[in-house]
Chain A
Amino acid sequence: MNSRFRITRWHVMGWIFLATLLFFAVAPMVWMLITSFKSQFAALKYPPELIPQNPNLEQYERLLSPKNDVGRQFLRYMLNSIWVSTATTVFGVAVAVPAAYAFARFRFPGRKALFFSVLFRNMFPAVVFLMPLFIMMRWMGLVNTYTSLIITYLTFGLPLSIWLLKGFYDNIPVELEQAARIDGCTRFQAFYMVVMPLSAPGIIATAIYSFITAWNEYVYALTFLNDDEKLTLPVGLQRFFAEYATNWPGLMAASFIMSVPVVVMFLILQKYFVRALTEGAVKA
C-alpha cells in the first residue's frame, strides 16, 4: 500500500464540520475583541469596520484603572467574582476529593445515592430551584451574602465533581495504596503521596470546572445579591452597562476581560483532560 496521505471525501467533510464549529466558536470572540478596540463612534458605523481604523486601548485603560469611577466599580465586581469563584473551588475540591475517594473505596449505606443526585441535578434546569432556594436562604438569613452563592454553587457542582473524581479513583488499583502502606505509609500518607498525585489531572480538571461554573453564573447571583457593592461580574456588567447604554466598545472590552480566565482555564483543562484520557490514571 502507498503510505502517502490521501485526502478522501471523509477528510473533507470532517474539515468542513470542524471549520463550521470553529467559526461559530471563534467569530464572536474575534468580533468582541475587534469592537473593544474601536472608538464609541466607530462602533456604530454601518457597514461596520472589519479592521478598526484607529484602534485604541482606551476602554481597557478605563476599566482596569482604579483612578476613575467606572474602573473602580469594574475592579470591585471582578474581585467579588474572584472571591466567590475561588471559595467555591477551594471548598468544592476540599470536599469532593475525600468524598470521591470514599465513594470509590468504601462500601456504606447510601453509596448509590451519588449517581442519582448527579442525575437529579441535571434533570432540571437550574432556574427550577431558584425560588425554593431563595426562600431557604432568606429563612437562614443568608440573602445578600456570598455564603448563599457559595452554598448554592457547591450543592449544584459537588455531585458532578465527586462523580468525575470517583472515576479517577476507581481506576487507581487498590494495590498501589496497599503497597504504599506496607512500604511505610499511614493510610493518609498512602493517599497523599501515592493516590493524590495520580489523580492530579482529575483534581485540576474538577477545580477548573467549578471555577468556571461559578465565574459565569448569572441567575442566582442576580437573585441572591442586592447591594451594588457585592455584585459579581456577570450581574455587575449587566447593570453597569444599562447605565452607560450604548458604549459598545466598553461592553466588549469588559466582556473580553471577563472571558480571559475562562479561556485560559479551558486551555489548561483540555490539556489535562486529554492527558487523563490518553494516559489513563494508571497504566498497569
Chain B
Amino acid sequence: MAQVDFVNVDKSYGSFRAVKDVSFTVGDGEFVALVGPSGCGKTTTLNLIAGLLDLTGGEIRVSGKVINDLDPKDRDIAMVFQNYALYPNKTVAQNLGFPLRMRKVAKAEIKDKVEEAARLLDITHLLDRYPRELSGGQQQRVALGRALVRDPQVFLMDEPLSNLDAKLRVQMRAELKRFHQDLNATVIYVTHDQLEAMTMADKMAVMSGGVLQQYDAPERVFEEPANLFVASFVGSPAMNLLPATRVERDGTVFATGEGWELTLSDRNGAAARRSETDAIILGARHSSLALHETETSGAIPARIYTVEPTGDLTYAHVEVGDKTFVISVPPDRRIAADQPVWIGFDQNKLHLFDAKTEQRIAQD
C-alpha cells in the first residue's frame, strides 16, 4: 500500500479547465472520499491517477515516485467503475483472473487467488456465470473482486454504489468499510452522495468547479466548513444560510437583516469584525436552531411555510424574509403552516462567513 501525493494537478480538455491546481496527500492506508456535485471533476481526477488521462500540469506521486508518464498498466493501481465495466464475454472467474493473466501469473496461482477473492466476496457460486446473468449487487462484487485479486498499491472507486438500490447500498457500504479495515488499503473513493463520504472516509476532499474546496476529516468538514460551498454541500438537510449586515453599537456587534436583529456573542462578534466588509452570512445547521411559538429575546421572527414529518424528526420549513430555513423539531411538536414563529440561535454552533470572499471566518 502506498501514499498518493497530488501536487498542483491541472487538467484541461481543450480550453476547458476541468481540474484546477489541486494539491492534497492521501496517506498510506487512508480511505479518502472525493465528493462534489456532478461535473466538478471527480472522475477526471480519478482518471488522472489511473493514467487514463494525461495531466496538463503538476505531478502525481505514488509512494514518492512521480507517475505522470507511466502507462495505466504500470501504475499498480486498481479501479472499480461506476458501471462496473465487467468484460461481457468472459465468465466471472475469467473476469477476476484477467488482471493476473495479463501480468503473466502462473495458472495455478491465478486459480487460487480467484477462489480466494470469490470466497471473500461470497461469489464462489457465481464463478461460471457471465456478467449479464448477475444482479447489480453481484456485478458490483465481481468488479470489486477484480480490483482485489491483484493486491494493488491504490484502489480507485468511481461511484461504485450508485447503481444499487438503497438497501443494498447501505449493506455494501458497510462491507466496503470493513474490507478497507481488513486490507488496510489506500482507497480513493468518488461519490456524490455525501452521506457515503461521511460514513466511510477517513478524509473528505470536497471539489467544486475543478477546485479543491476543503480536504479534512469528515467531522471537521461538517463542523468547520471552509467556505459557503462546502457549508451548503455537506450535511443533509443543507446548512441554513442567512445574509446579514454587521452593525456595531456601544462595543456590541449585531447581525441585522430586514425586520430582525441578532445580538452576537463576544466570540461571534469578534469573528464578525474580521469580515472584510459589513456583509456577512450566518450559517446554522437544522439541529442547532430552536423554534419558539412566542416572541423570545435573541430570536428572529419568521413564519412556518410547511411541515415535513419523517418519523424520527419533523422538518419545519420556515420563511425568514425571502430565505427558507429547515429546522428539525421532535415529531410530537404541534406546528402548522403560516404560524408565526421565532427562531433561536445556539451561538456556540453558529457559523460565520464573509459574504465577499465566501470564506469561513474563524471563531476564537
User: Which A residues contact B (CB, under 8 angstroms)?
Assistant: 173, 175-176, 178-186, 189, 194, 197-198, 282-284
Measured between alpha carbons, how far is A26 from B214 in the docked complex, in Å? 73
Measured between alpha carbons, how far is A181 from B75 in the docked complex, in Å? 10
Measured between alpha carbons, how far is A142 from B77 in the docked complex, in Å? 55
Find out whether the CB atom of A183 lies under 8 angstroms from the CB atom of B99.
Answer: yes
Interface residues of B in 73-111 (CB under 8 A from A): 73, 75, 77-79, 81-83, 85, 87-89, 98-99, 102-103
The residue from B73, B87, B89 contacting A182, defined by CB atoms under 8 A apart: B73
Residues of A within 8 A of B72 (CB): 178, 181-182
Measured between alpha carbons, how far is A176 from B132 in the docked complex, in Å? 14
Find out whether the CB atom of A175 lies under 8 angstroms from the CB atom of B73.
Answer: no
Find out whether the CB atom of A186 lies under 8 angstroms from the CB atom of B87.
Answer: no
Find out whether the CB atom of A178 lies under 8 angstroms from the CB atom of B52.
Answer: yes
Residues of A within 8 A of B4 (CB): none
Measured between alpha carbons, how far is A283 from B78 in the docked complex, in Å? 23
Residues of B within 8 A of A183 (CB): 73, 98-99, 102, 146
Residues of B within 8 A of A181 (CB): 51-52, 71-73
Among B77, B78, B85, B131, the most chain A Cβ lie within 10 Å of the Cβ of: B85
Q: With A173-B83, A175-B83, A283-B132 as given contacts, are A182 and B88 in contact (CB-CB < 8 Å)?
A: no
User: 28 A-B contacts, Cβ less than 8 Å apart?
Assistant: A175-B82, A175-B85, A178-B47, A178-B50, A178-B52, A178-B81, A179-B81, A179-B85, A179-B87, A179-B146, A181-B51, A181-B52, A181-B71, A181-B73, A182-B52, A182-B73, A182-B75, A182-B77, A182-B78, A183-B73, A183-B99, A184-B73, A184-B102, A194-B87, A197-B89, A282-B88, A283-B88, A283-B132
Find out whether the CB atom of B85 lies under 8 angstroms from the CB atom of A178.
Answer: yes
CB-CB nearest in chain B for A176: B85
- In the assembled complex, the CB of B172 is this many whole angstroms from the nearest CB of chain A, namely 19
Measured between alpha carbons, how far is A60 from B229 in the docked complex, in Å? 83
Measured between alpha carbons, how far is A265 from B52 in the docked complex, in Å? 40
Measured between alpha carbons, how far is A128 from B51 in the docked complex, in Å? 50
Interface residues of B in 129-183 (CB under 8 A from A): 131-132, 146
CB-CB nearest in chain A for B79: A182
Q: With A198-B88, A198-B89 as given contacts, are A184 and B99 in contact (CB-CB < 8 Å)?
A: yes
Residues of A within 8 A of B82 (CB): 175
Measured between alpha carbons, how far is A182 from B75 in the docked complex, in Å? 8
- In the assembled complex, the CB of B350 is this many whole angstroms from the nearest CB of chain A, namely 45
CB-CB nearest in chain A for B156: A182
Measured between alpha carbons, how far is A194 from B79 in the docked complex, in Å? 17
Measured between alpha carbons, how far is A11 from B146 in the docked complex, in Å? 50
Find out whether the CB atom of B102 lies under 8 angstroms from the CB atom of A185.
Answer: yes
CB-CB nearest in chain B for A282: B88
Measured between alpha carbons, how far is A179 from B71 in the docked complex, in Å? 13
Among B73, B75, B83, B98, the most chain A Cβ lie within 10 Å of the Cβ of: B73
User: Which B residues contact A (CB, under 8 angstroms)?
Assistant: 47, 50-52, 71-73, 75, 77-79, 81-83, 85, 87-89, 98-99, 102-103, 131-132, 146
Residues of A within 8 A of B102 (CB): 183-185, 189
- In the assembled complex, the CB of A111 is this many whole angstroms from the nearest CB of chain B, namely 15
CB-CB nearest in chain B for A172: B88
- In the assembled complex, the CB of B136 is this many whole angstroms from the nearest CB of chain A, namely 10
Among A180, A183, A185, A198, the most chain B Cβ lie within 10 Å of the Cβ of: A183
Residues of B within 8 A of A283 (CB): 88, 131-132
Find out whether the CB atom of A186 lies under 8 angstroms from the CB atom of B132.
Answer: no
Residues of A within 8 A of B77 (CB): 182
Residues of B within 8 A of A189 (CB): 102
Measured between alpha carbons, how far is A183 from B52 in the docked complex, in Å? 12
Measured between alpha carbons, how far is A284 from B140 in the docked complex, in Å? 12
Residues of A within 8 A of B81 (CB): 175, 178-179
Residues of A within 8 A of B103 (CB): 184
Find out whether the CB atom of B88 lies under 8 angstroms from the CB atom of A179.
Answer: no
Measured between alpha carbons, how far is A95 from B50 in the docked complex, in Å? 31
Measured between alpha carbons, how far is A184 from B76 in the docked complex, in Å? 9
CB-CB nearest in chain A for B74: A184
Residues of A within 8 A of B52 (CB): 178, 181-182
- In the assembled complex, the CB of A195 is this many whole angstroms from the nearest CB of chain B, namely 10
Among A175, A179, A180, A194, the most chain B Cβ lie within 10 Å of the Cβ of: A179
Measured between alpha carbons, how far is A156 from B78 in the docked complex, in Å? 45
Measured between alpha carbons, how far is A173 from B87 in the docked complex, in Å? 10
- In the assembled complex, the CB of A133 is this many whole angstroms from the nearest CB of chain B, namely 40
Measured between alpha carbons, how far is A178 from B50 in the docked complex, in Å? 9
Find out whether the CB atom of B73 lies under 8 angstroms from the CB atom of A185.
Answer: yes
Measured between alpha carbons, how far is A194 from B88 in the docked complex, in Å? 9
Other contacts beyond A179-B85, A181-B52: 9, CB < 8 A: A181-B71, A182-B51, A182-B78, A182-B79, A184-B73, A186-B71, A198-B89, A283-B131, A283-B132
- In the assembled complex, the CB of A253 is this many whole angstroms from the nearest CB of chain B, namely 43
Residues of A within 8 A of B83 (CB): 173, 175, 284
Residues of B within 8 A of A185 (CB): 73, 102
Among B52, B78, B88, B132, the most chain A Cβ lie within 10 Å of the Cβ of: B88
Residues of A within 8 A of B85 (CB): 173, 175-176, 178-179
Measured between alpha carbons, how far is A198 from B81 in the docked complex, in Å? 19
- In the assembled complex, the CB of B292 is this many whole angstroms from the nearest CB of chain A, namely 53
CB-CB nearest in chain A for B143: A179
Measured between alpha carbons, how far is A183 from B73 in the docked complex, in Å? 6
Residues of A within 8 A of B71 (CB): 181, 186
- In the assembled complex, the CB of B80 is this many whole angstroms from the nearest CB of chain A, namely 9
